[in-house]
Amino acid sequence: MPSDVSRRNFLTATAAAGVLLAAKRGAGASERLKFEVIGNELRFGGRPIRLMGVGVGDPVYVRGERPLSDYALLARGWHCSAVRISVHPGHWRQDAERTLALLERDVAAARAAGLFVIIDWHAIGFPGRYAEPVDPSWGLPLDAFASDEALALDFWRRVSARFGDDTGILFELWNEPVYDGKLWRSTGEHWPFLKALWVRLIKEIRSRSDAIVIVAGGRWAHDLNGVARDLIDDTRVIYSWHCYPNEDRGVASRWPDSLGGLPAVKPVVVTEWGFSRDGDDAIRGTPEDFGIPFTREILEPLKLHSMAWCFSSGATPRLLAPDGISPSEYGAFVKDYLAHSWRPQT
């Protein structure tokens, strides 16, 4: 989702290197363990696991002035087991070296705090079909969400080489695929086109890493219809889903219809969800009309993995109040949900 925070200053790559060393020292034991996919269950070190946490945005823009101590806070105070860290394609195209250094800094801090990390290529659209526009007032590059296959291949080539040996890191191939920006129903008709691209990107990753790869369906990652009948032929692929209040409001069985039965077959990670009482129509909702029914009727019964968006006072829907410290109304809801959500017995 878009962000209205201003441009941020950057920390140096030198700081990233120091935190990375600390992370390697602190995460040594867990790095001997590994994710496995058994049917619709995700396991780590042979034990069932549920990835529960928040998206923190990207290290260049949303997190430009956020402290690295956020990750320890999320692990201890917010009961997170994982975080989702994004990279905007426009930042990668503009300065890949700097973006990678900042990504290393945040990934290292998250791993040092004991968190699993989902690295997300934050593209919105589909090559040659649709590209999400950027409001110039946001302060992002105008190609921030660029849907360019060659750029994505370059990103995953370098990221899989850099992070592919850390068994606590998962790769989310593409944030929000959009094949047709005018289609607002979950038909599943674009899955074959998306799947073909995902297979090409996965091939690039597999030459360097057997990390868990997370892939999305169409319609801004909300349409998983047809996927269960046409899975990607890779035992270490799982699936993502995004859900906001504007999706099929008032339609009976709207959420199960868009999931297409996939949670019964493969692990599904809701890598974005959220609401805001005063947000625009896409995210406008309350605990009563979205948060409670979504968590009680979908996330918990289906035991979906969950990353609420976004741990920021700027990127919407905001988990943090304007002071950048206190939870917003939505943040308080998510924090309480994470504290009481079901986790597998270990």
pLDDT tens-digit series, residues 219-266: 999 999 999 999 999 999 999 999 999 999 888 899 999 999 999 999
Instruction: Give the pTM.
Output: 0.92
Quote the CA–CA distance of 226 and 224 in Å, as a whole number: 6
Judged against a pLDDT cut of 60, whether residue 125 lies above it is answered with yes
Between 2 and 318, where is the model more confident?
A: 318
Structure tokens at 116: 């699993």
Residues contacting 345, CB < 8 A, separation 6+: none
Q: What is the pLDDT of residue 90?
A: 98
**Span 201-219, average pLDDT:** 98
Query: What Rg, from alpha-carbon coordinates, does the chain have?
Result: 18
Quote the CA–CA distance of 164 and 209 in Å, as a whole number: 5
Output the DSSP codes for 239-308.
EEEEE-TTTTTT-TTHHHHHHTTGGGTS-EEEEEE--BTTS-TTTB--IIIIIHHHIIIIIHHHT-EEEE
Residue-range domains of the chain with CATH = 13-340 (3.20.20.80)
Quote the CA–CA distance of 64 and 201 in Å, as a whole number: 28
Confidence of residue 74 (pLDDT cuts 50, 70, 90): very high
Judged against a pLDDT cut of 50, whether residue 11 lies above it is answered with no
**Span 192-199, average pLDDT:** 98
Quote the CA–CA distance of 226 and 283 in Å, as a whole number: 26
**Span 158-176, average pLDDT:** 98
Quote the CA–CA distance of 272 and 310 in Å, as a whole number: 8
Q: What is the pLDDT of residue 32?
A: 77
Judged against a pLDDT cut of 90, whether residue 19 lies above it is answered with no
Structure tokens at 328: 């917003």
Between 30 and 205, where is the model more confident?
A: 205
Residues contacting 70, CB < 8 A, separation 6+: 56, 63, 109, 311
Confidence of residue 345 (pLDDT cuts 50, 70, 90): confident
